Structures are given as C-alpha cells and as structure tokens.
Amino acid sequence: MGSFYAIRDKALFYSDANGVPWTATYIQAHGDPITDLHEDMAAEQKARATYEHLLDLTDDPGVKDTLRFLREREVVHYQRFGEALRIVQEYMQAKKIY
C-alpha cells in the first residue's frame, strides 16, 4: 500500500490491479437499451475470461475455489442480462396501442 496509504490514508481510490486510476471513460453507455445490454453482456464475458486466466496462475485450492465462484457469478450475470435483452427486444417489437 506504500505510497497509496501515505497519500490517501483510508480514503477510497478506485484503480485497477495495475494501479491505473478509474475514469468514467470505462462506462460504455449509449442510451440504446439493446446496445447497452450487449455491452453489459460483453463485460461479463470479459470478466469471466479474466477469472479463467487467474485460475491458470495459481495452485492454491482456496484461491481457486474463490475464483471459480466469482467466474460462475459472471456467468449468472451474463444470463440475467441476456434475459433482460430478450424482454427489451420483445417490448420493442410489440405493437403499441395508446
């Protein structure tokens, strides 16, 4: 924590694993629900792939169990976003009567 602690004490400072600060440019929102849901699904797949890469880097059983749990959570998130996408597509295709 070295320099981070010296500068920020216990304050939150969002960064990635390499220490690169978080920025709003990471948010991929376009205002179109179908586009945004596809982007969300892609992010879940990227996270799942990251957990798979991390699994290859360790032989610790506890760490592996944790990473497997997190990987499966990403799969469930992907499925829920897929369900939301289907619902939105059905709604957009439905005839609207006002």
Domain at 46, CATH number: 1.20.1260.10
Tell me if 15 is assigned to some domain: yes
Q: Report the domain count for the chain.
A: 1
Q: What is the pLDDT of residues 20-70, one digit of tens each?
A: 888 887 777 788 999 999 999 999 999 999 999 999 999 999 999 999 999
- Cut 0.75: pTM above it: no
Q: Is residue 9 scored above 90 in pLDDT?
A: no
Tell me if 87 is assigned to some domain: yes
CB 29 within 8 A of CB 43: no
Tell me if 27 is assigned to some domain: yes
Tell me if 98 is assigned to some domain: no
φ/ψ region of 27 (left if φ > 0, alpha if ψ in -120 to 50, else beta) reads beta
Tell me if 53 is assigned to some domain: yes
Domain that holds residue 66: 2-93
Q: Is residue 7 scored above 80 in pLDDT?
A: no
